[in-house]
Amino acid sequence: LTGTSREQRAFQYVLAHAIPGDPHHILQTFDQWCYHCEHLSCRPRAASGRIVERVLLERAPLRVLELGTYCGYGTVLLAQGLPPGARLYTVEGDARHAAVAEKVIRLAGFSEETVELIVGPSEEVIPRLREKHGLTNVNLVFMDHWKRCYLRDLRLLESHQLLAEGATILADNVLFPGAPHFLQYAKTCGKYRCKVHRASLEY
């Protein structure tokens, strides 16, 4: 009825109520909107967000790749946990979502030197990461895009030698709605040690 998308409405709420430059408060404000107004497919800190925070603390990755920016919630969650000098590359295939995410990321106080948003299908972006974006390899990959693309994109990262030695792949929703082919490959190909983390559903 308003002519604006859910994501745009959420951003307007965040813009009106969150403290600019405070990533934690921006995530809190998003959570308030999603709990009380409209559901968004974000990863609240109370659910799998804490798993992301723990992995960042343990691994201290200098180069992070996020597949599936959506409205920027997960990007802010990742960016606020980066060690000094680290850089996050986030890929979103939907230009409308990317436009909202860009505003959210910058409102949280992260510059393009810290967080680079790349708009385009992941299968087209990944092969160009080294040549076009100067990304030689990544220490952490966070997958939260289309589940059917998880295995394809992991194989692309492997074939373009973009995974640093000892890299961590963190993939969301592999059980529900599920990414069975990705999970089977990760468990049986012999390249990875796998662990499934239990988490609640969004909001």
Among 158, 173, 191, 195, the active-site one is 173
- 147 is an active site residue: yes
Among 66, 92, 102, 172, the active-site one is 172
Alpha-carbon torsion (43, 44, 47, 51), positive or negative:
positive
How many CB atoms neighbour CB 179 within 10 A? 23
The sheet with strand 138-143 has its strands ordered as: 115-119, 87-92, 63-67, 138-143, 163-171
Among 7, 66, 139, 147, the active-site one is 147
- 103 is an active site residue: no
- 173 is an active site residue: yes
Which residues, at least 6 apart from 64, have a Cβ–Cβ distance to it below 8 Å? 78, 82, 86, 87, 88, 89, 138, 139, 140, 141, 142
Tell me the C-alpha distance between 8 and 103, whole Å. Answer: 10
Among 22, 53, 116, 202, the active-site one is 202
The single-letter code of the amino acid at 27 is: L
- 31 is an active site residue: no
- 195 is an active site residue: no
Q: Which two tokens stand for residue 148?
A: 């059917």
Among 92, 102, 144, 153, the active-site one is 144
Give the residue numbers annotated as catalytic, written as ranges: 144, 147, 172-173, 202
